[in-house]
Amino acid sequence: MIEDIKEPDCYYWLHTNYFDIVQPTDRTVTRWCQAPLFLDYDALWHPAFEEDAILIDVILRNQLPAVHERIRIEYGQIWSLQRLYKSQSTSSESERMLYHNSAKLRMPPVDGDD
């Protein structure tokens, strides 16, 4: 499923229960819950495919100069992946959906602990 993101003529929406920021950071919170990621081919900086997760560098902050942060997304936390072709103005949901498993969707606990 994740290999599908390598298509250069597409945009992707990746929905996951959470992902972790793994590089040294000044953030106090390093786990982002229910934050969809908008990706394209150019956004996949230094991907590393592990047995149970993908690590990629992304830009999460709205600032200049842009700062890359390394995130780790466990495959088991991914519950939806949609693909949109850059050249296509409209498409049906079934055409966009590469993967969807709502049974995997889990909302974070109210107190913030996992």
Of residues 66 and 41, more confidence is placed in 66
pTM for the complete prediction?
Answer: 0.78
| pLDDT tens by residue, 69-104 | 899 999 999 999 998 888 877 777 778 888 899 889
User: Residue 79, CB half-sphere, CA atoms under 13 Å: how many?
Assistant: 16
Q: Residue 79: its pLDDT value, please?
A: 93
How many whole angstroms separate alpha carbon 41 and alpha carbon 10?
Answer: 7
Domains and CATH numbers, the chain: 2-104 (2.30.30)
pLDDT of residue 3: 61
How many angstroms separate the CA atoms of 45 and 57, rounded? 5
Give pLDDT, residue 75: 92
Q: Between residues 10 and 93, which one has the greater pLDDT?
A: 10
Whole-angstrom Cα distance, residue 94 to residue 110? 33
R_g of the chain, CA atoms, integer Å: 15
